[in-house]
Chain A
Amino acid sequence: MRTPPFELHNPSSLDEALAIAGELNAAGQAFDWIAGGTDLLPNYKWHINVKPHVISLAKVRELSEFNPTHIGAMVRLHDLAESDQTHPVLAKAADSIASVLIRRSGTVGGNICLDTRCYWFNQTEQWRESIDWCHKCDCGTDADCRVIPNQNTLCVATYQADLAPVLMCLDATIHLASPDGKRSMPLSEFFQLDGMTRNVLQPGELVTHLTIPEEAGEWQGDYQKLRQRESWDFPEAGVAVLWKRNGGAKPAGLRVATTGLESIPGLHDEQAQAALSDWNGKETIDTLAEAVRKAVKPVQNTWSAPSYRRKMVKVLTRRACAGMLEGAE
Chain B
Amino acid sequence: MADSDENSAADKNEDEMVGYRQQPGKLPFAKPGSGGKDRFSRPTDDAMIPESQGGQKAQPWGPHRHDGLVSGQVIGKPTALVDSRWKVTGQAHYGDDVRLAGELIGRIIRSPHHYARVLSIDCSKALELPGVVAIATGADAANKFGVLPVTKDEHAMAVEKARHAGDLVACVAAEDEATAREAERLIEVEYEILDSIHDMRDGLEDSENPIHDRGRYHIGEANVQKRVFQEFGDIDGMASSAVASHKQNWLFAGVNHAATEPHAVVAHWDPSGRLTLYTPQQVPHYVHRALADVLEVPMHQINVHRTFVGGGFGGKSDPFPHEMCAAILARKSGRPVRICFDREEVYWINRGRHPSRIEMNLHADDEGRICGIETDALIDGGAFASFGHVTTYYNGVLHTAPYEIGAFHYTGARVWTNKPASGAMRGHGAVNSRCAVETGLDDLAEQLSVDPITLRLANLLPPHSATITGFRVTSIGMRECLERVKEASGWDEKFRKMPLGKGIGIGCGFFISGSGLPIHWDPNKFPHATVHLKIDMDGGVTVHTGAADIGQGSDTVVAQSVAEVLGLPLDMIRVKSRDSDTSPVDLGSYSSRVTFMNANAAISAAMQIRDELLDATAEITGADRTKLVIGDRRIFAKNDPAVGVSYLEALHKAQEDRGALVASGAYRTPPMGRTHKGAAAGLAPAYSFSAYVAEVSVDVETGQTKVEKVWAAHDCGKALNPLSVKGQIIGSCHMGMGQVLSEEMRYGRSGHLMNPDLLDYKIPSVHEMPEVVPIIVESNDPEGPFGAKEAGEGPLLPILPAVCNAVYDAVGVRTAELPITPDRMHKLIEKKCKSSGVKDPLDLSAPRLEHSALQDTLASRAAEHAERDLARRLDDDRQPYHNGALFGLDPTIPPDEVDERWAVNVIPSEEYLASPRLAGSAWKHTERRHRGDA
Contact = CB atoms under 8 A, between A and B. Distances in A.
Interface stretch (A127-135, A170-178, A189-197): A127-135
B762 A229 contact: yes
Most buried by B among A5, A130, A315: A130
Contacts of B702: 226, 312, 315
Contacts of A123: 344, 756-757
Nearest to B342: A1
A126 B765 contact: no
B765 A232 contact: yes
B762 A127 contact: no
A280 B136 CA distance: 74
A229 B177 CA distance: 34
Interface in B59-108: none
Contact of B764 (A2, A226, A229): A229
A279 interface: no
A228 B742 contact: yes
Contacts of A312: 702, 826
B821 A232 contact: no
The binding surface of chain A is classed by DSSP as: loop
Contact of B762 (A2, A132, A146, A228): A228
A230 B764 CA distance: 9
B300 to A, nearest CB: 38
B768 interface: yes
Interface string A287-329: 0000000000000000111011001100100000000000000
A38 to B, nearest CB: 12
Given A119-B754, A124-B342, A130 B748 contact: no
A233 interface: yes
Interface string B821-835: 111001100000000
A312 B762 CA distance: 20
B601 interface: no
Contact of A126 (B110, B113, B177): B110
B30 interface: no
A228 B741 CA distance: 9
Contacts of B750: 131, 146
A85 interface: no
Given A2-B177, A127-B752, A315-B701, A228 B165 contact: no
A231 interface: yes
Interface in A222-277: 226, 228-233
A171 B832 CA distance: 42
Given A119-B748, A127-B344, A315-B702, A305 B823 contact: yes
Contacts of A2: 177-178, 181
B178 A229 contact: no
A77 to B, nearest CB: 17
Contacts of B150: none
Nearest to B841: A315
Contacts of B827: 308
Contacts of A5: 178
Contacts of B113: 130
A146 B749 CA distance: 10
Nearest to A302: B760
A304 B823 contact: yes
Interface string B814-851: 00000001110011000000000000000000000000
Interface string A1-42: 110010000000000000000000000000000000000000
Contacts of A315: 701-702
B767 A130 contact: no
Given A124-B342, A229-B768, A311-B826, A129 B759 contact: no
B518 interface: no
Interface residues of B, number: 34
A1 B180 CA distance: 12
A131 B752 contact: yes
B701 A228 contact: no
Contacts of B178: 2, 5
Contact of B826 (A1, A132, A232, A308): A308
B756 A127 contact: yes
A120 B826 CA distance: 25
Contacts of B703: 308
A229 B761 CA distance: 11
B112 interface: yes
A312 B829 CA distance: 13
B27 interface: no
B759 A232 contact: yes
Contacts of A228: 742, 762, 821-822
Contacts of B112: 126, 129-130, 132
Interface string A128-171: 01111000000000000010000000000000000000000000
A166 to B, nearest CB: 20
Nearest to A124: B344
Interface in A194-214: none
Most buried by B among A5, A129, A303: A303
B766 interface: yes
Interface in B336-350: 342, 344
Contacts of A120: 748
Interface string B698-738: 00011100000000000000000000000000000000000
A216 to B, nearest CB: 29
Interface in B290-338: none
Given A126-B344, A229-B767, A308 B823 contact: yes
Given A1-B342, A124-B342, A226-B702, A130 B165 contact: yes
A132 B165 CA distance: 12
B180 to A, nearest CB: 9
A226 B699 CA distance: 12
Contacts of B757: 123
Contacts of A230: 765, 767-768
A124 B107 CA distance: 15
B821 A231 contact: no
B803 to A, nearest CB: 15
A263 B770 CA distance: 35
A114 to B, nearest CB: 14
B420 to A, nearest CB: 12
A228 B702 CA distance: 11
Nearest to B703: A308
Nearest to B766: A231
Contact of A229 (B342, B701, B742): B742
Nearest to A318: B701
Contacts of A303: 755, 760, 762, 821
A167 B344 CA distance: 36
A231 B765 contact: yes
Nearest to A119: B754
A218 B113 CA distance: 58
B521 to A, nearest CB: 40
A120 B760 CA distance: 12
Contacts of A305: 823
Nearest to A130: B112
Contacts of A308: 703, 822-823, 826-827
B189 to A, nearest CB: 11
10 contacts: A119-B760, A126-B112, A129-B112, A131-B752, A226-B702, A229-B764, A233-B762, A303-B760, A308-B826, A311-B826
Interface of B: 110, 112-113, 165-166, 177-178, 181, 342, 344, 701-703, 742, 748, 750, 752, 754-757, 759-760, 762, 764-768, 821-823, 826-827
The 10 A-B pairs with the shortest beta carbon distances in the complex, nearest first, are A308-B823, A230-B767, A130-B112, A231-B765, A305-B823, A130-B165, A315-B701, A304-B823, A129-B112, A229-B765
Given A119-B755, A303-B760, 17 more contacts: A2-B181, A123-B756, A124-B344, A127-B344, A127-B756, A132-B112, A146-B750, A228-B742, A228-B762, A229-B762, A230-B765, A230-B768, A231-B765, A232-B759, A303-B755, A308-B822, A308-B827
